[in-house]
Structure 1
Amino acid sequence: MQDSQSTLQHLISSLLERDPPRAKSLCVTLLGDAIGPHGGSIWLSDLIELVTPLGINERLLRTSVFRLVAQDWLQSERHGRRSLYRLSENGSELTRQASGRIYDGSPTQWEGDWTLVLLPRFGNSSLSKRSEVRRELIWAGFGAIAPGVFALPRNQASVAQKVLSKLKLSNNALVLSAHELNEGNGLIINSLISQCWDLEGVARQYQDFTDTFAPMLAALNPNIRPSQAFAVRALTIHEWRRIVLHDPQLPVQMLPADWPGHVARELCGELYWAIFDQAEEHLNLLLDKDPIHYQAAKPYVFERFGGRDDTAAAKPAAYNLMKCSR
């Protein structure tokens, strides 16, 4: 047991040294993944205690939450000398939008439908406005197939409209549904994939994820410390979130047969549920002293990554490393 704990702690420490998480991004990850299902609020002192083992000191955290409030990601409440934090309305909406990409992935069925966004010039402020819209649409998964033309291979009109509404440009762009009609005669949209999306870069990130976290899964056992389990959960989801929010999550039909994202997502879900109970125990030990703001986990948390498989969770944690190296 001690050897296994030592191995796991070495893997955690090595990851923190090699790729320390950014404080602002880690706060958003924890509030969405761990705090949200328990009511969504956390005292600053408790947040400090949660992130300190992950390499974030108190001064850096205080600066980060201050900036997240200024950027409308978080909102704070003063209770005497104490501060309570939660996601703002804007932060909650952005987190909801991201959750499907993080925990669900792309739909398995695709009927060949596309969403197009066409952007004309916006007067004298054309360049800055177009750059802002381009950045937001690419973050949402759209690819630029031509100047002022963005496409995503599924029905995502609501996502495009939210982006345009956020930038107050709903009346300055066209959002269209489309279906490819060339049917092999002429340019095929699939041939534009490498031009529109950096799939090679995303594939490398998925492979790096598997190389990093498969050994952690192999090092688990039922007796690991709750604090270790929480660290693994936080670092896993933090890294996973960073990758999938840059992945357009194209339909399976448009991806290579050996796409490393499939193996990485399976690994992430298996690791998430393998340490879930111990990670929740750590949260309970730290936060359950405030039952007003810390509540029992909401049922939706158990639907993540396809739903919890209690029969699989009862088995010893191990992972097929040959499968990971495909």
Structure 2
Amino acid sequence: MPEPQSTLQLLIHALLQRDPPRAKSLSVTLLGDAIGPHGGNIWLSDLIDLVTPLGINERLLRTSVFRLVAQDWLQSERHGRRSLYRLSESGQELTAAASERIYVGSRNDWNGDWTLVILPRFGNSSLDGRGALRRELVWAGFGAIAPGIFALPRNQTVRARKVLAKLKVTDKALILSAHDMNKGQGLLLGSLVSQCWDLENVAQQYRQFSDTFAPMLEAIDGHTRPMQAFAVRALTIHEWRRIVLHDPQLPQQMLPVDWPGHAARELCGKLYWKVFDLAEEHLNQVIQRDPSHFQALKPHVYQRFGNHSPRSS
């Protein structure tokens, strides 16, 4: 007679049935969160072993990594009949840009400065590629305050320049620093928040995250297995990444006092570190089979979600 499934395993299974992860984005999540701190290289066969318990079959994964290579997210090396994958230079840049939003979040030291990106019209035609540029700016957290004008309440000039350079429109857009000068005597930039960003939708995603993962935190106990811990870590970060990369992460001063993102981030950090050591055991069992492409965990990982003390050896 089969052994009854644990509460944690039932929760994992229910989540996979209700909202199965996409192979492409899950691969990027794992390479950034788990594989990167161990050197960033992984054999395709090992990646298959990691994602199979998460509902991704081998055929789907192979198709997905091929597409990620074509889109310059990943690069591959052939070693006989085997393929070794890592994030490309572009993929590493995008992952690094996302990491602060994933593991750090909004800062408390906003001084009221804004970054503006202005897309002027030239003659009778608008800027070529405006739609693609808009999507990239929105992904970086910018909101549209007027046609062709995008704003973000913090210094993001470096990120804005990278977006323009990526689309080769550096000489066709303006990047400006701004500070609200109205001081209550006119329209304030901060009053445009609801117009620029759909915060209610983001708030609902944070509430759903807490509803989904709080029971998992409670279900982790001394019987949790390494493979289960890795599944929890992967699914938690995958869902968290999906939410925060659509959250402009406005300064604390511009958010409601009861903003659900605060509780969700605290929950995510607690869950991440509660399963971390066990998850690393499973990860090491898979990728440490090839010592030539495996590196010990990099210490900077322990700065995620606030400083965390590594387990004593």
- Coarse TM-score class (shorter-chain normalised): over 0.9
Does the CA-based 8 Å contact 1:4-1:220 persist in structure 2? no
The reply on whether 1:258 has 2:263 as its aligned counterpart is: no
Does the CA-based 8 Å contact 1:197-1:248 persist in structure 2? yes
Q: Secondary structure at the match of 1:83?
A: strand
Matches for 1:269-288 after TM superposition, within 5 Å: 269-288=269-288
Residue 166 of structure 1: aligned partner: 166
How much has 1:294 moved relative to structure 2? 1.3
Change (3 A) 1:284 1:125: farther
Q: Secondary structure at the match of 1:176?
A: strand
Amino acid corresponding to residue 200 of structure 1 in structure 2: E
CA RMSD of aligned residues (A): 1.8
The reply on whether 1:20 has 2:1 as its aligned counterpart is: no
Residue 93 of structure 2: aligned partner: 93
The reply on whether 1:247 has 2:251 as its aligned counterpart is: no
Identity level (%): 74
Change (3 A) 1:257 1:192: same
4+ residue segments displaced more than 4 Å = 122-125
Deviations 1:166-188 (A, max 9, x none): 11111111100010011111112
Aligned residues: 311
Provide structure 2 residue ranges, at least 5 long, that are not aligned to the other structure. none
Cα distance in structure 2, aligned partners of 1:108 and 1:224: 36
Deviations 1:150-204 (A, max 9, x none): 0000111111111001111111111000100111111122221111001000000
Q: Secondary structure at the match of 1:306?
A: coil
Q: Secondary structure at the match of 1:275?
A: helix
Residue 84 of structure 2: aligned partner: 84
Residue 323 of structure 1: aligned partner: none
Deviations 1:256-297 (A, max 9, x none): 000000000000000000000000000111111111111100
Residue 74 of structure 1: aligned partner: 74
Does the CA-based 8 Å contact 1:9-1:228 persist in structure 2? yes
Does the CA-based 8 Å contact 1:233-1:272 persist in structure 2? yes
Residue 223 of structure 2: aligned partner: 223
Change (3 A) 1:253 1:57: same
Residue 317 of structure 1: aligned partner: none
Deviations 1:65-89 (A, max 9, x none): 0000000000000000000000000
Cα distance in structure 2, aligned partners of 1:243 and 1:45: 29
Amino acid corresponding to residue 248 of structure 1 in structure 2: P
Cα distance in structure 2, aligned partners of 1:217 and 1:91: 31
What TM-score, normalized to structure 2? 0.96
What TM-score, normalized to structure 1? 0.92
How much has 1:223 moved relative to structure 2? 2.9
Change (3 A) 1:73 1:122: farther
Does the CA-based 8 Å contact 1:4-1:221 persist in structure 2? no
Does the CA-based 8 Å contact 1:118-1:149 persist in structure 2? yes
Amino acid corresponding to residue 186 of structure 2 in structure 1: G
Residue 292 of structure 1: aligned partner: 292
Residue 176 of structure 1: aligned partner: 176
Residue 237 of structure 2: aligned partner: 237
How much has 1:62 moved relative to structure 2? 0.3
